[in-house]
Amino acid sequence: MIKDYFEEKEAADYCCCSVSTLRKRSEGIARDLWGKKVYRRSDLQNLIEREVKPWQPRRLNVEATHTSSRGEREILLPNLELPFGCAASPSETSRQRARRECARLKSLSSQAEYASTLA
């Protein structure tokens, strides 16, 4: 059986949204049926058609790029905080700093492994 009228929770489920979102977006389309707040299916369909936009997937891992003064494209990483004792030169890119820090940490771990074999 296909229902033509929905209670508020059912209407929110039909529209794939929360009840609070439905309340904000659907002003004026709710009806009173014997003391209950109901929504008509056709009104909900019109609301969805009015609000729907073309799908555009989110790109979470977007890399920012920069063209250096020499014309080379560089990938910019977030500004990394370097540990005490690590100096970064002003011309060093974020990626170069990250690579150098990674190499330093690998070196420290291999030194610790070597020291543990001597003990």
AA letter at 55: W
- Asked, for residue 84, whether it belongs to a domain, the answer is yes
- Asked, for residue 9, whether it belongs to a domain, the answer is yes
H or E stretch covering 99? helix 94-118
| Higher-scoring residue by pLDDT: 17, 108 | 17
Domain count, the chain: 2
- Asked, for residue 65, whether it belongs to a domain, the answer is no
- Asked, for residue 43, whether it belongs to a domain, the answer is yes
- CA 77, 79, 85, 91 dihedral sign is positive
C-alpha angle with apex 30: 23 to 4, nearest 5 degrees? 115
pLDDT score recorded for residue 116: 65
pLDDT score recorded for residue 10: 93
- Asked, for residue 70, whether it belongs to a domain, the answer is no
Domain of 102, in residue numbers: 77-118
Show Cβ contacts of residue 35 under 8 Å, excluding neighbours closer than 6 positions.
none
Cα(119)–Cα(45) distance, integer angstroms: 74
- Asked, for residue 47, whether it belongs to a domain, the answer is yes
List the one residue out of 3, 1, 14 whose CA is nearest residue 44: 14
- Asked, for residue 81, whether it belongs to a domain, the answer is yes
Task: Tell me the two tokens of residue 96.
Answer: 């170069």
pTM over 0.75: no
Q: Which tens digits make up the pLDDT trace of 34-90? A: 998 999 999 999 988 888 888 887 765 545 555 666 666 655 555 555 555 555 555
- Asked, for residue 64, whether it belongs to a domain, the answer is no
